[in-house]
Amino acid sequence: MPSHPSVVTDAYARLAEACPSLVIGELGPGEPAPRGGGWVSAAALAEGGAELDAFLAWDDAQVARDYGQRARPDVVASFGLHRYAWPACLLITVPWFLHRRVPRLPVTHVSYDRTGAGMRMAVREPVSFACLPGDPAAALPGARVVPDEEALRAEVRAAVAEHHEPVLAGFGPRTRRRGRALWGMVTDEIVEGLWYVAGLFGAAEGERARHELELLLPGATRPYVGSAAFRELTGPDGKPLPTRDRASCCMFYTVRPEDTCATCPRTCDADRIGKLTALAAS
């Protein structure tokens, strides 16, 4: 896919280096969004029609193939929403984390394909972007200069909400979840996506991400649910094990009751310590 340099190009390039399974291509002016194959636009997902049906059919087939059983339709829809929202949040949070630039990307500007070996996203140049004073990009068309870091964090929350509100409207009836539960999922995707990717940038960046996310989501920042919710447990060797408490449940327990994730609200601390210790050892 041709690359069109923009204010987010460097951030997406570094993301691709750290996480090769996620490829983000920028569309040039007037360049059509990719179609066919596994490509679907975020706008089509938001419509909640036949293209969302086809999108979720992939999740349904994947569960049957990998686990030898069918998942409930609402669980399939929850899997599909998670698999879209995780990279979609990174489109906004990574440029903010790396370069203090917050792009506005409505659903009409993003397409997604996860049917190959990894995930691919095609992104049209941001409608506008927020940045801080002193950023060289502040003189570019579409720049909105905000006074300080807290104002920029407000821009992150607004940009993620703007993109996801119509997507949640499309997925909501399929997941059988409503406002708070859906926004709890988005809250988790913001936190866990950036926390994971920042760790790939390096241990120091992973620690910085925890601090940045605690400031971004301190609690009572509607429509998001709760805070970043980081905390530490103590491993068998006395070393700290960072974890967090998810605001939502991905419903994977309905497929594999014995296999919950380390941040699942259903996972007790003793099991979390076991899972995190095994992960660290591997």
Question: pLDDT by residue for the chain (282 residues), tens digit each?
Answer: 444 579 999 999 999 999 999 999 999 888 999 998 899 999 999 999 999 999 999 999 999 999 999 999 999 999 999 999 999 999 999 999 999 999 999 999 999 999 888 999 999 999 899 999 999 999 999 999 999 999 999 999 999 999 999 999 999 999 999 899 999 999 999 999 999 999 999 999 999 999 999 999 999 999 999 999 999 999 999 989 999 999 998 888 899 888 888 888 888 899 899 989 888 777
Cβ–Cβ under 8 Å, residues 241 and 273? yes
Whole-number Å distance between alpha carbons of 36 and 281:
42
- Helix 149-175, helix 50-67: angle, nearest 10: 80
Cβ–Cβ under 8 Å, residues 48 and 81? no
